[in-house]
Chains A and B, each alone.
Chain A
Amino acid sequence: MREALDQWTFVYAAYALGVGGTLAMMAWSWLAMKRAEARREKARQR
């Protein structure tokens, strides 16, 4: 018996995961870089 699966559900899930994961990684890395560089500047000025 063939299962009736809505293929679009799987496409949406994969895109949400791929796009969400990539954007989260970009935002996290950018913010971590900015925080670390601000810490370095603070250490320089002390």
Chain B
Amino acid sequence: MHGFANPKRFLALASWLTPLLLVSGLVLTAGALFWGFTQVPPDRLMGETVRILFIHVPTAWLGMGGWTAIAISSLVFLVWRHPLAAIAARGAAVPGLIFTLICLATGSIWGRPTWGTWWVWDGRLTSMLVLAFLYVAYIALAQSAEREGVSARIPAIFGLLGAVNIPIINRSVVWWNSLHQPPSITMGKSAIDGIFLAPLLVAVIGFSLIFGGVVLARMRALLADIQAEARLRRRAMEAD
């Protein structure tokens, strides 16, 4: 693992892995969404709106997964001081935020015909909204730390502290009364019928591959910016 913390080795790996993850993710996601959109029957209670499941659930999991990645990378950065770990955390922030926003928007769209309301201030929806705000704060903090030349330890500590919200999101439907349904999929068990579960799992894999590809693309962009900046600074110093 430590071997890949070398930027040169990381770039050699990411150069072929980025397009592979993006293309395979796109193919799997398109297939799963087509399957869910055209082949799955309407649900007994939710009717046709059950098809929103195939976008809402993967983006919700990846919204939380994105922050988990930030927390793990931040911990690695704080303990082992690998600069690539700080870059990995920053790379996961934007896709995590976008998937969280898609989850919130599709949840709201799903809530209107099933619950009769676009929004309710319950534990699940509110903690997910807090996650979106945490992402925005993390991105702003990481950008300003880089611009002002402040240590990357400050956003890393924020990334670790923000992870407190992840178990709250996960347990919110168990701890508090909510319009949101309790967990349908737990370790090794599912309350979802196989006819819905199969395309859902393909969609989760597809969206996860896209997430991985986007994280790698953003890490490559951040690394390239740092390397270009360093080279220009070196040239300017040599010219002086």
Q: Which residues of A come within 8 Å of B, CB atoms?
A: 3, 5, 7-8, 10-11, 13-15, 17-19, 21-22, 25-26, 29-30, 32-33, 35-37, 39-40, 42-44, 46
Contacts and interface: CB of A to CB of B under 8 A. Distances in A.
A25 B25 CA distance: 13
A39 B56 CA distance: 37
14 contacts: A3-B116, A11-B51, A17-B105, A18-B55, A18-B106, A19-B55, A22-B207, A29-B95, A29-B214, A32-B217, A33-B217, A33-B224, A35-B221, A44-B231
A15 B217 CA distance: 24
B109 A13 contact: yes
Interface of B: 18, 22, 26, 29, 33, 37, 47-49, 51-52, 55-56, 59, 94-95, 98, 101-102, 105-106, 109-110, 112-113, 116, 207, 210, 213-214, 217-218, 220-222, 224-225, 227-228, 231-232, 235
B109 A40 contact: no
B110 A14 contact: yes
A36 B33 contact: no
A14 B103 CA distance: 10
Contact of B48 (A7, A22, A32): A7
Given A7-B47, A11-B51, A40-B228, A21 B213 contact: no
